[in-house]
Structure 1
Amino acid sequence: MSIALFLLTFLFPPRVVMQPAALPSTVAQLSPRPVALLLPRPEPLTYHAPRRIASYRVTATVYSARKSQTDNHPFITADNSRISRHHTSKRRWMALSRDMLKQWGGKFEYGDSVQVKGISPKLDGVYVIHDTMNRRLHRTIDLLVGRHEKIYGKWDDVTIKKVDDTPPPLPEWQAS
Protein backbone atom coordinates (compact mmCIF):
# COMPACT_ATOMS: atom_id res chain seq x y z
CA MET A 1 0.00 0.00 0.00
CA SER A 2 1.38 3.41 -0.90
CA ILE A 3 1.98 6.10 1.67
CA ALA A 4 -0.63 8.42 0.14
CA LEU A 5 -3.31 5.73 0.28
CA PHE A 6 -2.37 4.89 3.87
CA LEU A 7 -2.66 8.57 4.90
CA LEU A 8 -6.02 8.96 3.17
CA THR A 9 -7.37 5.86 4.89
CA PHE A 10 -6.03 7.07 8.23
CA LEU A 11 -7.43 10.62 7.88
CA PHE A 12 -10.75 9.58 6.35
CA PRO A 13 -11.73 6.17 7.69
CA PRO A 14 -14.47 4.30 5.79
CA ARG A 15 -18.01 4.73 7.13
CA VAL A 16 -20.28 1.90 8.07
CA VAL A 17 -23.59 2.08 6.17
CA MET A 18 -26.69 0.85 7.93
CA GLN A 19 -29.13 -1.36 6.02
CA PRO A 20 -32.55 0.27 5.52
CA ALA A 21 -35.31 -1.11 7.66
CA ALA A 22 -38.23 -2.99 6.09
CA LEU A 23 -41.41 -1.03 5.38
CA PRO A 24 -44.24 -1.40 7.89
CA SER A 25 -46.98 -3.82 6.88
CA THR A 26 -49.56 -1.03 6.46
CA VAL A 27 -47.52 0.64 3.74
CA ALA A 28 -46.74 -2.63 1.99
CA GLN A 29 -50.45 -3.46 1.59
CA LEU A 30 -51.58 -0.25 -0.16
CA SER A 31 -52.99 -0.75 -3.64
CA PRO A 32 -52.20 1.69 -6.49
CA ARG A 33 -54.92 4.08 -7.61
CA PRO A 34 -55.41 5.63 -11.07
CA VAL A 35 -53.98 9.11 -11.56
CA ALA A 36 -55.03 11.52 -14.33
CA LEU A 37 -52.04 12.89 -16.20
CA LEU A 38 -52.51 16.25 -17.93
CA LEU A 39 -50.06 16.89 -20.75
CA PRO A 40 -49.87 20.21 -22.58
CA ARG A 41 -51.27 20.10 -26.10
CA PRO A 42 -48.65 20.60 -28.76
CA GLU A 43 -49.17 23.78 -30.74
CA PRO A 44 -50.04 23.21 -34.38
CA LEU A 45 -47.15 23.79 -36.76
CA THR A 46 -47.50 27.01 -38.68
CA TYR A 47 -46.15 27.55 -42.16
CA HIS A 48 -43.77 30.45 -42.56
CA ALA A 49 -43.30 31.39 -46.18
CA PRO A 50 -39.74 32.22 -47.14
CA ARG A 51 -38.94 35.91 -46.99
CA ARG A 52 -39.11 37.47 -50.43
CA ILE A 53 -36.37 39.86 -51.31
CA ALA A 54 -37.66 42.82 -53.28
CA SER A 55 -36.29 43.36 -56.77
CA TYR A 56 -36.16 46.72 -58.54
CA ARG A 57 -36.21 47.74 -62.22
CA VAL A 58 -33.51 50.31 -62.92
CA THR A 59 -31.50 51.88 -65.71
CA ALA A 60 -27.85 50.82 -65.83
CA THR A 61 -24.82 52.66 -67.18
CA VAL A 62 -21.06 52.21 -66.83
CA TYR A 63 -18.40 54.66 -65.68
CA SER A 64 -14.68 54.71 -65.04
CA ALA A 65 -12.60 56.63 -62.51
CA ARG A 66 -12.04 59.86 -64.47
CA LYS A 67 -12.65 63.47 -63.45
CA SER A 68 -14.93 63.91 -66.44
CA GLN A 69 -17.22 61.12 -65.17
CA THR A 70 -16.94 61.65 -61.41
CA ASP A 71 -15.96 64.53 -59.13
CA ASN A 72 -12.57 66.12 -58.42
CA HIS A 73 -11.41 62.97 -56.60
CA PRO A 74 -12.13 60.16 -59.06
CA PHE A 75 -10.28 57.44 -57.11
CA ILE A 76 -12.21 57.97 -53.83
CA THR A 77 -15.78 56.65 -53.63
CA ALA A 78 -18.63 57.99 -51.50
CA ASP A 79 -17.93 55.46 -48.74
CA ASN A 80 -14.20 56.43 -48.79
CA SER A 81 -13.05 53.28 -50.56
CA ARG A 82 -10.00 53.72 -52.80
CA ILE A 83 -10.25 52.69 -56.45
CA SER A 84 -7.09 51.12 -57.82
CA ARG A 85 -5.64 52.80 -60.92
CA HIS A 86 -5.70 49.37 -62.59
CA HIS A 87 -9.34 48.67 -61.72
CA THR A 88 -11.21 46.25 -64.02
CA SER A 89 -14.85 45.25 -64.37
CA LYS A 90 -13.97 41.97 -62.65
CA ARG A 91 -13.77 43.82 -59.31
CA ARG A 92 -17.57 44.45 -59.36
CA TRP A 93 -18.14 47.83 -57.70
CA MET A 94 -21.14 50.02 -58.39
CA ALA A 95 -22.68 53.40 -57.71
CA LEU A 96 -26.35 53.74 -56.87
CA SER A 97 -28.69 56.70 -57.30
CA ARG A 98 -29.45 58.54 -54.08
CA ASP A 99 -33.16 57.71 -54.05
CA MET A 100 -32.26 54.03 -53.55
CA LEU A 101 -29.78 54.55 -50.69
CA LYS A 102 -30.96 54.31 -47.08
CA GLN A 103 -29.62 57.77 -46.22
CA TRP A 104 -32.18 59.25 -48.60
CA GLY A 105 -35.09 56.88 -47.85
CA GLY A 106 -34.10 53.87 -49.99
CA LYS A 107 -33.48 50.23 -49.12
CA PHE A 108 -29.74 49.85 -49.85
CA GLU A 109 -26.61 50.80 -47.89
CA TYR A 110 -22.94 51.14 -48.73
CA GLY A 111 -21.32 47.71 -48.63
CA ASP A 112 -24.50 45.80 -49.60
CA SER A 113 -24.11 43.10 -52.21
CA VAL A 114 -26.53 43.48 -55.12
CA GLN A 115 -27.44 40.93 -57.82
CA VAL A 116 -27.62 42.62 -61.26
CA LYS A 117 -29.41 40.94 -64.21
CA GLY A 118 -30.34 42.11 -67.67
CA ILE A 119 -27.21 43.80 -69.04
CA SER A 120 -24.96 41.16 -70.62
CA PRO A 121 -23.35 37.89 -69.57
CA LYS A 122 -20.08 39.73 -69.00
CA LEU A 123 -21.55 42.43 -66.74
CA ASP A 124 -24.34 40.52 -64.95
CA GLY A 125 -23.48 39.32 -61.46
CA VAL A 126 -23.06 40.42 -57.86
CA TYR A 127 -21.77 43.95 -57.21
CA VAL A 128 -20.93 45.81 -54.00
CA ILE A 129 -22.28 49.35 -53.49
CA HIS A 130 -19.42 51.80 -52.89
CA ASP A 131 -20.51 55.03 -54.55
CA THR A 132 -23.37 57.48 -55.04
CA MET A 133 -24.58 59.01 -58.28
CA ASN A 134 -25.53 62.61 -59.00
CA ARG A 135 -28.75 63.78 -57.33
CA ARG A 136 -30.49 64.41 -60.65
CA LEU A 137 -30.59 60.65 -61.43
CA HIS A 138 -33.31 58.36 -60.08
CA ARG A 139 -33.57 54.54 -60.07
CA THR A 140 -30.21 54.22 -61.79
CA ILE A 141 -27.08 52.18 -61.21
CA ASP A 142 -23.59 52.87 -62.51
CA LEU A 143 -21.14 49.97 -62.86
CA LEU A 144 -17.47 50.77 -62.38
CA VAL A 145 -15.24 49.53 -65.22
CA GLY A 146 -11.56 50.02 -65.92
CA ARG A 147 -10.28 53.01 -67.91
CA HIS A 148 -8.67 50.72 -70.49
CA GLU A 149 -11.83 48.61 -71.05
CA LYS A 150 -13.95 49.63 -74.01
CA ILE A 151 -17.36 49.07 -72.39
CA TYR A 152 -19.99 51.72 -73.06
CA GLY A 153 -23.73 51.76 -72.97
CA LYS A 154 -27.01 52.37 -71.27
CA TRP A 155 -29.42 49.54 -70.47
CA ASP A 156 -33.06 49.94 -69.48
CA ASP A 157 -35.14 47.37 -67.66
CA VAL A 158 -32.28 45.95 -65.58
CA THR A 159 -33.24 44.02 -62.43
CA ILE A 160 -31.38 44.43 -59.15
CA LYS A 161 -32.01 42.86 -55.77
CA LYS A 162 -30.12 42.73 -52.50
CA VAL A 163 -28.22 39.49 -51.90
CA ASP A 164 -29.27 37.92 -48.61
CA ASP A 165 -26.02 37.60 -46.64
CA THR A 166 -27.42 35.40 -43.89
CA PRO A 167 -26.32 31.78 -44.30
CA PRO A 168 -29.09 29.21 -44.79
CA PRO A 169 -30.03 27.25 -41.66
CA LEU A 170 -28.26 23.96 -41.19
CA PRO A 171 -30.44 20.86 -41.57
CA GLU A 172 -31.34 18.97 -38.43
CA TRP A 173 -30.07 15.43 -38.71
CA GLN A 174 -31.63 12.57 -36.83
CA ALA A 175 -30.19 9.15 -36.21
CA SER A 176 -32.15 6.40 -37.90
Structure 2
Amino acid sequence: MSIALVLLTLLFPARPMFSAALPSTVAHLSPRTVAFVSAPLVVKRLPRRLPTYTVTATIYEADARQTDSEPFVTADNSRIPRRHSSKMRWMALSRDLLKRWGGDFEFGDSVRVTGISPKLDGNYIIHDTMNRRHRHCMDILAAKSEHLNEMWKNVKISKIEPEWHAS
Protein backbone atom coordinates (compact mmCIF):
# COMPACT_ATOMS: atom_id res chain seq x y z
CA MET A 1 0.00 0.00 0.00
CA SER A 2 1.20 3.49 -0.67
CA ILE A 3 1.67 6.01 2.10
CA ALA A 4 -1.14 8.19 0.78
CA LEU A 5 -3.58 5.31 0.78
CA VAL A 6 -2.60 4.36 4.34
CA LEU A 7 -3.16 7.94 5.48
CA LEU A 8 -6.53 8.11 3.73
CA THR A 9 -7.55 4.81 5.30
CA LEU A 10 -6.62 6.07 8.74
CA LEU A 11 -8.31 9.44 8.31
CA PHE A 12 -11.47 8.10 6.67
CA PRO A 13 -12.40 4.64 7.96
CA ALA A 14 -14.49 2.52 5.59
CA ARG A 15 -18.24 2.26 5.95
CA PRO A 16 -19.50 -1.28 5.50
CA MET A 17 -22.54 -0.54 3.31
CA PHE A 18 -20.48 0.39 0.16
CA SER A 19 -17.50 -1.89 0.59
CA ALA A 20 -18.91 -4.78 -1.48
CA ALA A 21 -19.90 -2.72 -4.51
CA LEU A 22 -16.71 -0.68 -4.87
CA PRO A 23 -13.18 -1.74 -5.83
CA SER A 24 -10.81 -2.35 -2.96
CA THR A 25 -8.96 0.99 -3.31
CA VAL A 26 -12.19 2.98 -3.21
CA ALA A 27 -13.92 0.82 -0.60
CA HIS A 28 -11.84 2.28 2.17
CA LEU A 29 -12.83 5.85 1.30
CA SER A 30 -16.02 7.16 2.80
CA PRO A 31 -18.14 9.86 1.17
CA ARG A 32 -18.40 13.13 3.07
CA THR A 33 -21.11 15.71 2.99
CA VAL A 34 -20.10 19.01 1.48
CA ALA A 35 -21.78 22.29 2.30
CA PHE A 36 -22.30 24.61 -0.64
CA VAL A 37 -21.94 28.30 0.10
CA SER A 38 -23.33 30.71 -2.45
CA ALA A 39 -20.65 33.10 -3.66
CA PRO A 40 -21.48 36.78 -3.92
CA LEU A 41 -22.38 37.98 -7.38
CA VAL A 42 -19.51 39.62 -9.21
CA VAL A 43 -20.60 42.71 -11.08
CA LYS A 44 -18.95 42.91 -14.46
CA ARG A 45 -17.35 46.32 -15.01
CA LEU A 46 -18.02 48.12 -18.21
CA PRO A 47 -14.94 49.02 -20.22
CA ARG A 48 -13.56 52.44 -19.46
CA ARG A 49 -14.74 55.01 -21.97
CA LEU A 50 -11.72 56.71 -23.45
CA PRO A 51 -11.86 60.35 -24.58
CA THR A 52 -12.51 61.09 -28.23
CA TYR A 53 -10.87 64.06 -29.94
CA THR A 54 -12.00 65.93 -33.03
CA VAL A 55 -9.03 66.78 -35.25
CA THR A 56 -8.11 67.86 -38.76
CA ALA A 57 -6.51 65.07 -40.79
CA THR A 58 -4.02 65.46 -43.61
CA ILE A 59 -1.65 63.22 -45.56
CA TYR A 60 2.15 63.45 -45.49
CA GLU A 61 4.91 61.73 -47.40
CA ALA A 62 8.39 60.74 -46.30
CA ASP A 63 9.95 63.65 -48.17
CA ALA A 64 12.50 66.18 -46.88
CA ARG A 65 10.24 69.05 -48.04
CA GLN A 66 7.40 67.81 -45.79
CA THR A 67 9.41 66.47 -42.84
CA ASP A 68 13.00 67.19 -41.80
CA SER A 69 16.46 66.31 -43.11
CA GLU A 70 15.88 62.60 -42.32
CA PRO A 71 12.47 61.85 -43.83
CA PHE A 72 12.62 58.07 -43.30
CA VAL A 73 13.21 58.33 -39.52
CA THR A 74 10.19 59.19 -37.38
CA ALA A 75 10.14 61.05 -34.05
CA ASP A 76 10.17 57.77 -32.10
CA ASN A 77 13.20 56.57 -34.16
CA SER A 78 11.20 54.08 -36.23
CA ARG A 79 12.43 53.60 -39.79
CA ILE A 80 9.94 53.99 -42.62
CA PRO A 81 10.49 51.29 -45.29
CA ARG A 82 11.26 52.64 -48.76
CA ARG A 83 8.21 50.93 -50.34
CA HIS A 84 5.55 52.04 -47.86
CA SER A 85 1.93 53.05 -48.44
CA SER A 86 -1.07 54.29 -46.48
CA LYS A 87 -1.87 50.62 -45.77
CA MET A 88 1.03 50.69 -43.30
CA ARG A 89 -1.22 52.70 -40.93
CA TRP A 90 1.37 55.00 -39.34
CA MET A 91 0.46 58.49 -38.25
CA ALA A 92 1.84 61.69 -36.78
CA LEU A 93 0.00 63.74 -34.17
CA SER A 94 0.25 67.41 -33.30
CA ARG A 95 2.27 68.08 -30.16
CA ASP A 96 -0.69 69.27 -28.09
CA LEU A 97 -2.12 65.72 -28.21
CA LEU A 98 1.12 63.94 -27.21
CA LYS A 99 1.79 63.17 -23.54
CA ARG A 100 5.23 64.78 -23.64
CA TRP A 101 3.51 68.13 -24.20
CA GLY A 102 0.48 67.55 -21.95
CA GLY A 103 -1.78 65.42 -24.17
CA ASP A 104 -3.17 61.91 -23.73
CA PHE A 105 -1.30 59.99 -26.46
CA GLU A 106 2.20 58.49 -26.56
CA PHE A 107 4.39 57.14 -29.33
CA GLY A 108 3.39 53.54 -30.01
CA ASP A 109 -0.26 53.99 -28.98
CA SER A 110 -2.92 52.51 -31.24
CA VAL A 111 -5.58 55.01 -32.28
CA ARG A 112 -8.98 54.44 -33.90
CA VAL A 113 -9.65 57.00 -36.66
CA THR A 114 -13.12 57.65 -38.12
CA GLY A 115 -14.49 60.32 -40.43
CA ILE A 116 -11.96 60.34 -43.27
CA SER A 117 -13.14 57.74 -45.80
CA PRO A 118 -13.94 54.03 -45.77
CA LYS A 119 -10.51 53.35 -47.28
CA LEU A 120 -8.53 55.36 -44.69
CA ASP A 121 -10.64 54.91 -41.53
CA GLY A 122 -9.30 52.34 -39.12
CA ASN A 123 -6.57 51.75 -36.56
CA TYR A 124 -3.26 53.61 -36.73
CA ILE A 125 -0.08 53.61 -34.64
CA ILE A 126 1.49 56.90 -33.55
CA HIS A 127 5.13 57.07 -34.69
CA ASP A 128 5.70 60.73 -35.46
CA THR A 129 4.88 64.28 -34.41
CA MET A 130 3.99 67.34 -36.42
CA ASN A 131 5.50 70.82 -36.47
CA ARG A 132 4.78 72.87 -33.36
CA ARG A 133 2.54 75.30 -35.25
CA HIS A 134 -0.20 72.62 -35.65
CA ARG A 135 -2.94 72.12 -33.04
CA HIS A 136 -5.46 69.24 -32.91
CA CYS A 137 -4.17 67.75 -36.15
CA MET A 138 -3.05 64.37 -37.42
CA ASP A 139 -1.06 63.26 -40.48
CA ILE A 140 -1.39 59.90 -42.18
CA LEU A 141 1.78 58.49 -43.72
CA ALA A 142 1.34 57.74 -47.43
CA ALA A 143 3.60 57.07 -50.41
CA LYS A 144 4.30 59.65 -53.13
CA SER A 145 2.69 57.36 -55.70
CA GLU A 146 -0.71 57.51 -53.94
CA HIS A 147 -1.29 61.25 -54.62
CA LEU A 148 -3.60 61.76 -51.66
CA ASN A 149 -3.42 65.55 -51.30
CA GLU A 150 -6.48 66.11 -49.18
CA MET A 151 -7.52 67.52 -45.85
CA TRP A 152 -10.45 66.34 -43.70
CA LYS A 153 -12.04 68.26 -40.84
CA ASN A 154 -14.04 66.82 -37.91
CA VAL A 155 -12.17 63.53 -37.87
CA LYS A 156 -12.64 61.56 -34.63
CA ILE A 157 -9.70 59.83 -32.94
CA SER A 158 -9.63 57.80 -29.73
CA LYS A 159 -7.01 55.66 -28.06
CA ILE A 160 -7.44 51.90 -28.24
CA GLU A 161 -6.72 50.13 -24.97
CA PRO A 162 -4.44 47.15 -25.43
CA GLU A 163 -6.03 43.77 -24.82
CA TRP A 164 -3.81 41.64 -22.64
CA HIS A 165 -4.03 37.88 -23.02
CA ALA A 166 -2.29 35.29 -20.91
CA SER A 167 0.14 33.21 -22.90
TM-score by length of 2: 0.72
Structure 1 unaligned regions, length at least 5: 1-41, 170-176
CA distance in 2, matches of 1:44, 1:113: 34
Residue 72 (structure 1) aligned to one of 69, 72, 80 = 69
Matched with 2:122 is 125
Is the partner of 1:135 in helix, strand or coil? coil
Pairing 1:12-23 to 2, within 5 Å after superposition: none
Residue 159 (structure 1) aligned to one of 145, 156, 159 = 156
Matched with 2:93 is 96
CA distance in 1, matches of 2:70, 2:45: 48
CA distance in 2, matches of 1:160, 1:45: 33
Pairing 1:56-67 to 2, within 5 Å after superposition: 56-67=53-64
CA distance in 2, matches of 1:79, 1:58: 21
Matched with 2:17 is none
Matched with 1:143 is 140
- RMSD of aligned residue pairs (Cα, Å): 2.0
Aligned length: 130
CA distance in 2, matches of 1:132, 1:115: 17
The percentage of counterpart residues that share the same residue type is 55
From the CA coordinates, give the structure whose radius of gyration is larger: 1
CA distance in 1, matches of 2:132, 2:64: 17
Amino acid at match of 1:117: T
CA distance in 2, matches of 1:136, 1:104: 13
CA distance in 2, matches of 1:143, 1:52: 25
- 1:78-105 superposed Cα distances (whole Å, 9 cap, x missing partner): 0000011111111000000000000000
Residue 147 of structure 1 and its aligned partner are, at CA, apart by 1.4
